[in-house]
Amino acid sequence: MRGCTEAINVVALGFARGLLQDGDEIIISLMEHHANIVPWQMAAQDSGAVVKVIPITETGELDLKALENLISDRTKIISLVHSSQILGTINPIKKITAMAHKKGIPVLVDGAQTAPHMPIDVQDLDCDFFTFSAHKMSGPTGVGVLYGKSEWLEKLPPHNGGGEMCDTVTFEQTTYKPIPKKFEAGTTSFADIISLGAVIDYHHALGMQAIADYEQELLEYGLEKLHQIKGLHILGSAPEKEPVVSFTIDGVDVKELEKYLNSEWGIAVKAGLLASQPLMKHLKVEQAIRASFCYYNTKEEIDTLTQAIETFIQKDS
């Protein structure tokens, strides 16, 4: 796969081509990245299915009671982000998969935000599909992983046709190789795949639990420091969060702040709609700015971030 976006599209297209019928239902959530909204909208348009949306609570957590009420006999798949790239909320995937599997519903998990930051055991989560991207792990762009249980991968038709994925080819009919080959048309980006393997090995050498523990320290410290800035409002207050903090500041254009932090202080942050327009609309926020913490960051760098923000506010006032 070229990343999470392609992986989700592969599953959504496969469902649209053979597993969804008119009136069937797809469940996603309000906190999804556009990459886990648009493919399912396209699948619904192609098949006649309907997309349903799980609401969130005031703290930015999935409303599991609402999810329970959304699930019906027509629900064919639930596709959710493992953690929100804006709110930081880590979703209770294991609980959700158990809920879904009682009715035979598969669950896809977008793990772009969690795979680099915590131990992931897909067997323990019991999800049916799991995706992640190399670039989120400091690897190359344009490569990622789609994990799927064989029973579901067997049901999905291939999304691309060509060499490598076919077994026998005639002008009348083509048969496909067993999974995963049937999803690998053409020459794969083997150099990037090797690079991704090296990145994963590096993370495991550091220890995924050690990474998670340290980054949680950074998150707690960052939240404490940012809360001290007057007029700064952090989005989401779930008790279980990944190491990202999105916020707004009264009277501050966050796009200008983004440019300032990058050009004047060498601090890389992201500002704007953050690829989640429905969530931003729900939060009544036009734009936000996001700071992400990783194992290579330090508390001193967080001090520098807060100092830079305060300097910008004073300069801009």
pLDDT per position as a tens digit, 60-77:
999 999 999 999 999 999
Q: Within this chain, do residues 35 and 109 fall inside the same structural domain, yes or no?
A: yes
Q: What is the pTM of this model?
A: 0.96
How far apart (Å, rounded) are the C-alpha atoms in residues 9 and 159?
Answer: 9
Same structural domain, 68 and 168: yes
Write the CB contacts of 163 (distance below 8 Å, at least 6 apart in sequence): 185, 186, 187
- pLDDT tens figures, 202-255: 999 999 999 999 999 999 999 999 999 999 999 999 999 999 999 999 999 999
For the chain, what is the mean pLDDT?
Answer: 97
CATH number at residue 18: 3.40.640.10
Say whether both 41 and 92 belong to one domain: yes
What domain count does the chain have? 2
In this structure, the answer to whether residues 46 and 66 fall within a common structural domain is yes
Residues 237 and 281 in one domain: yes
Q: Same domain, yes or no, for 248 and 197?
A: no
100 and 43, same structural domain? yes
> Can you give the pLDDT at residue 315?
85
Question: Token digits for 191?
Answer: 């150099």
Domain that holds residue 293: 208-316
pLDDT at 157 over 70: yes
Closest by CA position to 36, among listed 4, 68, 62, 60: 4
Domain boundary among 203, 228, 257: 203
pLDDT at res. 118: 97
Confidence of residue 46 (pLDDT cuts 50, 70, 90): very high
Asked if 229 and 192 sit in the same domain, the reply is no
125 and 232 inside one domain: no
197, 50: one domain: yes
255 Cβ partners below 8 Å, 6+ apart? 271, 272, 287
pLDDT at 316 over 80: no
Residue 261 has pLDDT above 80, yes or no: yes
Q: For residue 317, name the pLDDT band (cuts at 50, 70, 90).
A: low
What is the pLDDT confidence band of residue 1, given thresholds at 50, 70 and 90?
confident
